[in-house]
């Protein structure tokens, strides 16, 4: 008899082999072939299992921010409390093994992750390069967007500017124009796809222009290079094109940060707004403003601030497990949280954190960096301190415990901008879901609310 681990391994290997059989078709053609099977699967679920319960909702969940309520169809990724994120069933290490990197590089290209999220199939290297070229062809900003961003005061938060730019891009929305012309519902997905791909292509140009306006005295942004991939262009437009290690890091970060199931605030917001048939630009602009909140996308900059404060107080020459432990306890006893530790769903170390740590372990300059060493040593101490403190359900690090610190080491030190990079990344998953929501004909989201009196009656009668 085979063990459960062997069975899972065989199934995973078979799935990988099947996914490797990608053809020379484009992403849109491949997606058009995948959609009918998912439509049939959904139709069967509705017909045979519509009345079956998924879970029971508790009072705590209703009044606690809907934590843990399973209520969103989100097919591309699933977040397990112990295993972490899986993309179409594959873990981050498995994705690193099979998804094509840039020529001469080792890290996942976001284009290959986008293809995989959209279709559930692993693209070939040639298909990935073709997608890179298509995105580059779509990547230049319209003049009116450049004028809009240039007209904004540099003191306006970069996330505010990003949301405004994304919303204004809907001036050219293919979905909006098709809807107004009366296109059939069965064709919605194709126009949503066009908007999604164009928005993903233009996010680096838009984000780089915001960066240069705020932090580089409005210096001119380089044009999109049709020979570069999405992140290669992004790094070049930011002014870091010569830093190959930073470019590789951004590829990894954006690829593995691109989707994290549908329950997080930005993903849920894009899903909710998209369910009204708002076009992908407006839907993702709303998601960006959810991402801008301190409890969501701003976390990585809070980690870096805290780490640098620790470094200043302790002194780089005095950083030991004991001095870190003392600083952790001072943080907790002052009523503050330890940023970068704990997660709303995860109950183990975030696999994304592990992937970023492994990236650091392969580069001598990162291993020698006091900031990166502090991240590593904090990881070796913090879980025990937080467990002893006893007020956290998860004492393990999430991705934010490392992500901003690596950017800082490579010279991208403007904290307020870090969430913009997160926004470039998360578009992969949110926009994939909008395309699929239109392909599956998902309805407008409309949960039922309850008053406190209603909740009390339900609770006491139970």
Cα 193 to Cα 437: distance, rounded to the nearest angstrom: 11
Among the listed residues 296, 350, 361, 365, the single catalytic one is 296
Is 150 a catalytic site residue?
A: no
Q: 417-429: string of b/e by CB count within 10 Å (b at 16+)?
A: bbbbbbbbbbbbb
Q: Are 104 and 92 in contact (CB under 8 A)?
A: no
Residue 146 and residue 164: Cα distance in Å, rounded? 12
What are the tokens at 385?
């301190």
Q: How far is CA 446 from CA 75, 437, 449, in A?
A: 20, 15, 9
Q: Rounded CA gap, 223 and 237, in Å?
A: 7
Give how far Cα 247 sits from Cα of 234, 243, 255, 287, 310, Å.
8, 6, 12, 25, 28
Residue 50 bridge partners (DSSP): none
Q: Which residues pair with 85 in a beta bridge?
A: 79
| Active site (annotated) includes residue 400 | yes
| Spatial CA neighbour of 114 closest among 77, 164, 153, 142 | 77
Annotated active-site residue in 229, 257, 400, 409: 400
- Closest by CA to 203, choosing from 244, 159, 247, is 159
The DSSP call for residue 105 is -
Contacts for 181 with CB less than 8 Å, ≥ 6 apart: none
Task: Examine the residue annotation and report whether 157 is marked as an active-site residue of this protein.
Answer: no
Phi then psi for 164, rounded to 5 degrees?
-65, -45
Contact predicate 392/257, CB 8 Å: no
Instruction: Spot the catalytic one: 260, 268, 343, 409.
Output: 343
Locate tokens 């976390």: which residue? 299
- Rg over alpha carbons for the chain, rounded to the nearest Å, is 23
Q: Is 218 helix (H, G, I), strand (E, B) or coil?
A: coil
Tell me which residue has tokens 């222009």.
209
Q: Which residues are catalytic?
A: 296, 343, 400
């Amino acid at each position: 008899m085979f063990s459960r681990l062997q069975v899972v391994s065989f199934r995973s290997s078979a799935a990988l082999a099947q996914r490797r059989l990608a053809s020379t078709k484009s992403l849109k053609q491949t997606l058009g072939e995948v959609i009918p099977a998912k439509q049939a699967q959904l139709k069967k679920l509705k017909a045979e299992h519509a009345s079956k319960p998924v879970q029971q909702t508790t009072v705590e969940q209703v009044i606690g921010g809907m934590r843990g309520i399973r209520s969103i169809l989100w097919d591309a990724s699933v977040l397990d409390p112990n295993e972490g994120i899986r993309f179409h069933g594959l873990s981050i290490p498995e994705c690193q093994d099979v998804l094509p990197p840039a020529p001469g590089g080792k890290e996942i290209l976001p284009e290959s992750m986008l293809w995989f999220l959209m279709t559930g199939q692993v693209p070939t290297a040639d298909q990935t390069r073709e997608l890179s070229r298509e995105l580059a062809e779509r990547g230049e900003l319209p003049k009116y967007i450049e004028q809009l961003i240039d007209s904004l005061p540099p003191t306006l938060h970069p996330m505010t500017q990003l949301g405004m730019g994304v919303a204004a891009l809907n001036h050219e929305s293919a979905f909006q124009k098709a809807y107004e012309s009366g296109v059939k519902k069965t064709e919605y997905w194709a126009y949503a796809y066009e908007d999604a791909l164009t928005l993903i292509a233009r996010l680096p140009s838009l984000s780089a222009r915001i960066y240069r306006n705020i932090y580089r005295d409005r210096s001119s942004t380089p044009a999109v290079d049709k020979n570069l991939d999405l992140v290669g262009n992004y790094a070049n437009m930011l002014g870091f094109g010569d830093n190959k290690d930073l470019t590789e890091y951004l590829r990894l970060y954006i690829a593995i940060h691109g989707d994290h199931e549908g329950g997080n605030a930005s993903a849920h917001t894009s899903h909710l707004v998209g369910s009204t048939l708002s076009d992908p630009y407006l839907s993702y602009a709303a998601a960006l403003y959810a991402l801008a909140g301190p409890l969501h996308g701003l976390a990585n900059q809070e980690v870096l601030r805290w780490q640098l404060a620790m470094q200043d107080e302790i002194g780089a020459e005095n950083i030991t497990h004991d001095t870190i432990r003392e600083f952790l306890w001072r943080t907790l006893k002052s009523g503050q949280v330890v940023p970068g530790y704990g997660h709303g769903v995860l109950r183990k170390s975030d696999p994304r954190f592990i992937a970023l740590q492994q990236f650091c372990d392969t580069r001598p300059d990162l291993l020698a960096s006091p900031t990166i060493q502090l991240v590593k040593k904090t990881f070796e101490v913090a879980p025990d301190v937080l467990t002893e403190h006893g007020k956290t359900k998860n004492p393990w690090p999430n991705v934010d415990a490392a992500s901003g610190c690596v950017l800082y080491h490579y010279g991208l030190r403007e904290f307020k901008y870090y969430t913009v990079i997160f926004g470039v990344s998360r578009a992969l998953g949110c926009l994939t879901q909008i395309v699929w929501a239109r392909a599956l004909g998902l309805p407008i989201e409309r949960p039922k609310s309850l008053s406190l009196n209603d909740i009390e009656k339900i609770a006491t009668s139970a």
